[in-house]
């Protein structure tokens, strides 16, 4: 496949739909007050979203074929040429302002792109999300104008690869226990420590990284920085060999007196937890669309198979036990999709109406909790329905299962998500009391 191939019609259609938007609705003249959306945000219409979904599907048919996805999984190598194709298609700046090359379409659109890319390849979509949501959207939400002008164009065009580094060996969901430090020096900070399980870490040019600037202050002493990986002292200790999401390169990062200028501090000093939390709910929301695509992929696999596989003189899909399992798979997918998209729609519509973008922690955590666990179940069902063939690596059923399981672990485990939802309830009831 040629790395110079550009679906020009796709790119033109996306930009025509999403950038000008003047003819879509009078709300275009209103500047939204939301801190979660681009300036002048207008919620996309159903027709916009349908056309976007069809455009992503066409992109995947051309660029992420089943054979290509299988190769990425087998070789465990990410196709870096995909970033420029993503950029040319308009996928990398879904939530960013048009001023920086973005499409300003919001979170429904971001979820749709994530779902359809995951349908084609879970691992490619995961790296996409680490770039477009964890890195780009953090810059969109928290960056200064100078930082956005400096970093967003290259990240949105696909010329640069982005990542986010928070986790450490001893600090996964427990952010406050991180040990990486940032010591103030003339003109900036020296970062020392390690980061673990960092998606896109081995490939990234720019990483949003968290470190303790005032270690004794606990959660009130953490600061976010924008790190250029070409800086002396930065290195990747190892690329990790994972069960699933193979090809989405994940690594351990080493920081040895890495200098970051003051101008690359992201958000206020010692307010890194606030920066992190500002985007965490939205991260959960967009990532919840990954399991949706994997459930679609499982259905794409088993529906034809069960109707073509003849046993006892009839297609196995005519067996009531098989029908029941297929029905459950489909229902789990559609229920998960409805949950995720309804939350995304609420966020977008609130912002378009001049609000701050309705982001409820329990809804975002609930969406990824539910869709992740259902995706693992659906993937297991796909293997069962395909019998012996489902257990073979020649078909993608096993890859779908391995990829799905990550979503119950990464970006906060299912257990932590349940705690997050419970704490959100406690906070609301305490305030009400």
- Please spell the DSSP secondary structure of 395-427, one letter per residue: STHHHHHHHHHHTTTTTS-HHHHHHHHHHHHHH
What local confidence, expressed as pLDDT, does residue 181 receive? 96
What local confidence, expressed as pLDDT, does residue 188 receive? 97
**Domain 8-161, what architecture?**
Orthogonal Bundle (1.10)
Cα–Cα dist 199/162, whole Å: 9
Which option is the CATH number for 165-272: 2.60.40.10, 3.40.50.620, 2.40.110.10, 3.40.109.10?
A: 2.40.110.10
Tally of CA atoms within 13 A in the half-sphere of 96 that contains its CB: 33
Cα–Cα dist 7/31, whole Å: 32
H or E, element range at 251: strand 250-261
For the chain, residues classed under CATH 1.10.540.10 are: 8-161
Strand-pairing partners, residue 259, are 190
Strand extents, DSSP E, 131-233: 162-165, 181-185, 188-199, 206-212, 222-228
Q: With a cut of 50, which residues of the chain have pLDDT below it?
A: 1-33
H or E, element range at 266: strand 265-266
Whether 51 is a known active-site residue: answer no
Which option is the CATH number for 274-432: 3.40.190.10, 1.10.10.10, 1.20.140.10, 3.40.50.2000?
A: 1.20.140.10
For the chain, residues classed under CATH 1.20.140.10 are: 274-432
CB-based contacts of 120, cutoff 8 Å, min separation 6: 60, 64, 69, 293, 297
For the chain, residues classed under CATH 2.40.110.10 are: 165-272
What local confidence, expressed as pLDDT, does residue 15 receive? 46
Residue 328 has phi, psi (to 5 degrees) of -65, -40
What local confidence, expressed as pLDDT, does residue 107 receive? 95
* Helix, strand, coil in percent for the chain, rounding step 5: 55, 15, 30
Which residue in 115, 116, 252, 283 is the catalytic one? 283
What local confidence, expressed as pLDDT, does residue 356 receive? 60
Q: What is the pLDDT of residues 150-169, one digit of tens each?
A: 999 999 999 999 999 999 98
Cα–Cα dist 279/412, whole Å: 14
Strand-pairing partners, residue 212, are 181, 222
């Amino acid at each position: 496949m040629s790395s110079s191939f550009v679906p020009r019609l796709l790119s033109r259609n996306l930009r025509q739909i999403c950038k000008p938007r003047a003819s879509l609705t009078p709300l275009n003249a209103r500047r939204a007050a939301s801190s979660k959306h681009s300036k002048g945000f207008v919620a996309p219409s159903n027709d916009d979203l349908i056309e976007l979904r069809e455009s992503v599907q066409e992109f995947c048919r051309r660029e992420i074929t089943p054979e290509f996805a299988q190769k990425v999984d087998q070789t465990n190598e990410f196709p870096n040429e995909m970033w420029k194709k993503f950029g040319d298609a308009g996928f990398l700046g879904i939530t960013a302002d048009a001023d920086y090359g973005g499409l300003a379409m919001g979170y429904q659109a971001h979820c749709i792109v994530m779902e359809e890319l995951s349908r084609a390849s879970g691992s490619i979509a995961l790296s996409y999300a680490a770039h477009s949501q964890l890195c780009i959207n953090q810059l969109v939400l928290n960056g200064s104008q100078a930082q956005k002008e400096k970093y967003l164009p290259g990240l949105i065009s696909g010329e640069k690869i982005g990542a986010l580094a928070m986790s450490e060996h001893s600090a996964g969901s427990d952010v406050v226990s991180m040990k990486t430090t940032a010591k103030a020096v003339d003109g900036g900070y020296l970062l020392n420590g390690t980061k673990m399980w960092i998606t896109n870490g081995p490939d990234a040019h720019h990483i949003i990284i968290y470190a303790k600037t005032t270690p004794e202050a606990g959660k009130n002493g953490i600061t976010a920085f924008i790190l250029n990986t070409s800086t002396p002292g930065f290195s990747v200790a190892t690329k990790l060999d994972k069960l699933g999401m193979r090809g989405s390169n994940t690594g351990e990062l080493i920081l040895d007196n890495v200098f970051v200028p003051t101008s690359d501090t992201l958000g206020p000093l010692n307010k890194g937890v606030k920066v992190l939390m500002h985007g965490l709910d939205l991260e959960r929301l967009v990532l919840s669309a990954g399991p949706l695509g994997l459930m679609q992929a499982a259905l794409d696999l088993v529906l034809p198979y069960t109707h073509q596989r003849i046993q006892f003189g009839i297609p196995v899909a005519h067996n009531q036990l098989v029908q029941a399992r297929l029905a459950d798979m489909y229902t789990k997918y559609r229920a998960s999709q409805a949950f995720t998209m309804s939350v995304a729609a609420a966020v977008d519509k609130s912002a378009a109406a001049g609000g701050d973008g309705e982001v409820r922690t329990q809804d975002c955590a609930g969406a990824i909790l539910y869709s992740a666990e259902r995706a693992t179940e659906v993937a297991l069902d796909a293997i069962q329905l395909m019998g012996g063939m489902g257990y073979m690596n020649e078909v993608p059923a096993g890859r779908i299962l391995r990829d799905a399981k990550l979503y119950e672990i990464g970006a906060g485990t299912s257990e932590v998500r349940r705690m997050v939802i419970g704490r959100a309830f406690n906070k609301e009831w305490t305030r009400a009391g």
